[in-house]
Structure 1
């Protein structure tokens, strides 16, 4: 929350409410002060929120604010981008006591090719003569980071153990980190992952991912609770010990840097025989994590049964073209979607690990919710409809909550909500600005198993 703005004699506060659990899950630094005076942002989220609230304060100073709905000149992605700039650029203040556009410099470096190869390598950013930085090669004349081509060339000399060293403004040598106290939060790593792609890290924790100038938070690796829930809901006879076995195998598969795919099927043996000409059949065996890391290094999927036994390696999945695919995603994911679309009577879960580390579960099942959530919201809508005067605030809040849970509505729910909404809207004065809501339509994939 920023300082309030006085509008027509009233002090107006802008407050942004967030879920505490979600905020705590976001990677963040602990310290926020530089030289005891200047505040730096601890995360991409904090920097974005700060920029958003600042824009709100500015908007409140517009004459006759509120007479038009659109008061911002930026959309959501633009706020996130400015948040990323603010977050990274504050490191320049941390190391130099002055602002400059480090975010822009890193993006331009990531855009450079070297002999046809996309950007790769790492830059360690810290103060000069940092006690945890061991310099193996020192440049007599430091190279400014704005010299994009020269920096890109130097990145070719980096490896897993040796990085380019910079102070946020200039590259001054090559070296590595040893005995760093992470509580100091004064040493960061920029890791280049391809053309216009890079990550900001504190040690091995990814604070921000940037692709084509657009910052985003790191994707959460698949959690055991979510994965176990999918196994329980898809495989009718799976045991607790089987879940743990399969989980350990999947954990090993997700470490494959080049991406991989694991198919878990109750008909794994039959599928191994059917696809014999396009896979390597093996005697059913429970893999260790180490073996799983090895077998996922080759092309094709690994075929498991629900007990975690492997039946085939390097499986080339078949399937027919389907409108459920996504042309914006990779061949591996679309292959999994096509295959699953032809296995209507099978209990099957496919884990797709992309080259960028993103993990997809196919099918992805929405979380289960208590049925009474829907019942309470319908009851709230009925109360609004029965009241003598429509409470527009309660009506809009209820409708927004129903829109968030639209997937979980049965046909009868949709009919009831649509009828109530129409009745309520007919009672609202026509000259009042209102939100237009569409009719709810039942989702064909919804069934009672999505209720707890």
Structure 2
């Protein structure tokens, strides 16, 4: 076995530990429905009294994070230790006083590492999440996960709490923030084990478990924001339980408003003489049956106090009111004002996102229908947004031969005189079983159309008949077709999948980096390439597969994790229209 050495050595399994954290962070993001772009690094600061030759170590070394980035880090740690707020704290028990210096140093290393990374974050448009610090051999080690700001910007999150007190917790700003905190808490716990990283497989919780932990942590945010106190309860599990219940055969559809019962914004319809405790989920479900679209259950996260609603003058920016809307059995969402912060289906939490990035939709639409104007695209996009807002599932198909298809499928739907599709018309005809058929310019030719087409690899039993019908129809014809599918559970799909433009130069650099990579630094280009498989032509796929074969054949290093790569093949829908300089 070939042994690969490192100059910035902290402990034998630092590489595998860091790689495990990175894989977990990326998997958690994907589980939530976000792009799995995340990088992990370790920063170690030499412990006092150690004679190790390195004052600071970075894992991985010689990659994105140069050692110069942490110049002056030991001095920053000592300065933070000297001025730490716990220096003047006196505990009533001997054990806490004994542990206080260690707590101060651990926290000071974390603060100093975050300060050192701040310029890097700005320069690279990322956000660093720093976990707890623990001592491993000669070093105090901080685990850091970095996420592109573009990922954070795609999903609704709370702004900083207004008039916040630094000594008061107001919860997490978003589900991604809660998820990264859960990942880093898991990593910090693993750092306290003997030889962290040695038994990486199965040592940490799965990404599904981390997502559940994150969702429960995030659900403490409404209670902390409105009452400034922590509630020791599993609100996430409670909401899932209420969402699962039926009352005399009826599904629970209604809303809870998390708010202080004395908030002047509440207009109570009725108050309960005795508040209904959250320890009685069946009782809460019975109360939910009384709620109507204009009346909500008023709660502070511990008790339900009555039925009422928020008055129109309430300012959502105060973050003192959160809404949980039960949309269907096993389906609910958390909102603050108009921002949907979390959705949960069948007990599985996910981020809320628009059906697609608008610029990506416009680019893809012009590629599919090059004769369409900007006004055509804007009109279609406005109709799609309206379609999504409708209370029922529906499908709209845009086809460059819509008129001919309407005639061909006349026996399977209702033809109309060609009419510009408006919101009013879409609202009337989309509730009929079948599909609304329009051309690229927004002219409607038929509705209630039952589509045909053969099954293909993109059909899936995990989705309903509406989605699979759209996939079969779009994929079975040579003409350009675009299906916008809104399922009954409010899932939105665009078929074929809309993809953003990609840079030729970035693709070439990533392929070259992968071709020259070693087992030590292959992960970054490999992960990028794995996430952008759609964009490679046949020649590039051959180069990539040769690089995969070369890496697979390399000898393993001690205690290393090597993730093999699925072979590359060109995508049938890829063409040069997806590429820019």
Question: Is the 1:281–1:311 Cα contact (8 Å) retained in structure 2?
Answer: yes
Which among 175, 191, 195 is matched to residue 64 of structure 1? 195
Q: Is the alpha carbon distance of 1:116 and 1:96 closer, same or farther for their aligned partners in structure 2, counting shifts above 3 Å?
A: farther
Q: What is the CA-CA distance between 1:80 and the residue it aligns to? A: 1.3
The answer for unaligned runs of 5 or more in structure 2 is 1-129
Q: Comparing 404-413 with 418-427, which one deviates more in the overlay? A: 418-427
Q: How does 1:360-439 map to 2 (within 5 A)?
A: 360-384=493-517, 391-423=518-550, 426=553, 428=555, 433=560, 435-438=562-565
Q: Taking structure 1 as reference, are residues 34 and 238 closer, same or farther at Cα in structure 2, changes over 3 Å only?
A: same
Deviates more, 1:154-163 or 1:142-151: 142-151
Match of 2:156 in 1: 27
Deviation, structure 1 residue 436 = 4.8
Q: Equivalent residue of 1:225, what SS?
A: helix
Correspondent of 2:229 among 84, 93, 97: 97
Which among 153, 173, 177 is matched to residue 42 of structure 1? 173
Q: Is the 8 A contact 2:418 2:444 kept in 1?
A: yes
Following superposition, which runs of at least 4 residues in structure 1 exceed 6 angstroms of deviation? none
Q: Is the 8 A contact 1:90 1:99 kept in 2?
A: no
* Bigger shift: residues 5-14 or 208-217: 208-217
Q: Does 1:294 align with 2:428?
A: yes
In structure 2, what is the Cα distance between the partners aligned to 1:168 and 1:348? Answer: 48
Post-superposition Cα deviations, 1:182-223, rounded to whole Å, max 9, x if no partner, equal: 122111111112222211111232111122332211132334
Change in 2 beyond 3 A, CA 1:93/1:433: closer
Distance (Å, rounded) in 2 between the aligned partners of 1:148 and 1:430: 53
Q: Deviations over 1:114-163 (max 9, x none)?
A: 11122211111211221100111111122112222222122121111111
Tell me which of 137, 144, 151 is aligned to 2:284: 151
**2:443 maps to which of 283, 288, 309:** 309
Q: Which moved more, 1:12-21 or 1:200-209?
A: 200-209
Where does the alignment leave 5 or more consecutive residues of structure 1 unmatched? 385-390
After superposition, the Cα gap between the structure-2 partners of 1:167 and 1:444, relative to the gap in structure 1 and judged at 3 Å, is: closer
SS of 2:151's equivalent in the other structure is: helix
1:9 aligns with 2:138: yes
The total of aligned residue pairs comes to 445
Shift in Å, 1:276: 1.1
User: Structure 2 matches for 1:305-384, cutoff 5 A?
Assistant: 305-344=439-478, 346-384=479-517
Distance 1:271 1:323 in 2: 24
Is the 1:135–1:174 contact (alpha carbons within 8 Å) kept by the matching residues of 2? yes
Q: Identify the residue that residue 387 of structure 1 maps to in structure 2.
A: none
Counterparts of 1:34 and 1:122, CA distance in 2: 30
3-state SS of paired residue (1:15): strand
Contact 1:122 1:158 in 2 (8 A): yes
Pairing 1:116–2:244 present? no
Structure 2: distance between partners of 1:429 and 1:163: 60
Residue 388 (structure 1) aligns with: none
Provide the residue aligned with 2:375 in structure 1.
241
CA contact (8 A) 1:245 1:308 kept: yes
Partner of 1:170: 303
1:263 to 378, 397, 405: 397
CA contact (8 A) 1:92 1:100 kept: no
TM-score, normalised to structure 2, is: 0.72
1:274-331 deviation line (CA, Å, top 9, x unaligned): 1111211111111322222222222221111111111111111122333431111111
Contact 1:263 1:303 in 2 (8 A): yes
Is the Cα–Cα contact under 8 Å of residues 59 and 71 in structure 1 kept in the other structure?
no
TM normalised by structure 1 equals 0.91
Shift of 1:99: 2.0
Larger mean CA deviation between 135-144 and 398-407 belongs to: 398-407
1:268–1:303 contact (8 Å) kept in structure 2: yes
SS of 1:310's equivalent in the other structure is strand
**1:134 and 2:267 correspond:** yes
Greater Cα shift, 39-48 or 185-194 = 39-48
Q: Is 302-311 or 394-403 further displaced after alignment?
A: 394-403
Query: Shift of residue 10 of structure 1?
Result: 0.9
* Residues 340 and 352, structure 2, Cα contact 8 Å, conserved in 1: yes
For residues 431 and 398 of structure 1, do their structure 2 counterparts lie closer, same or farther at Cα, with a shift above 3 Å needed? same
Q: Deviations over 1:329-373 (max 9, x none)?
A: 1111111111123212x1211111122322211111432211222
RMSD: 2.3
C-alpha contact 1:139 1:173 (8 A) present in aligned 2: yes
Quote the Cα distance in structure 1 between the aligned partners of 2:221 and 2:382. Answer: 40
Q: Distance in 2 between matches of 1:431 and 1:51?
A: 29
Q: Which has the higher contact order (CA 8 A, sep 6+)?
A: 2
Q: Are 1:264 and 1:305, in contact at CA under 8 Å, matched by a contact in 2?
A: yes
Q: CA deviation at 1:21?
A: 1.9
* CA distance in structure 2 between the aligned counterparts of 1:74 and 1:433, rounded to whole angstroms: 19
C-alpha separation between the residues in 1 aligned to 2:220 and 2:211? 14
Contact kept, 8 Å, 2:552 with 2:564, in 1: the verdict is no
Measure the CA separation in 2 of the matches of 1:109 and 1:439.
42
Q: Which residues of 2 match residues 188-199 of structure 1 at below 5 A?
A: 188-199=322-333
Answer yes or no: is the 8 Å Cα contact 2:514–2:547 preserved in 1.
yes
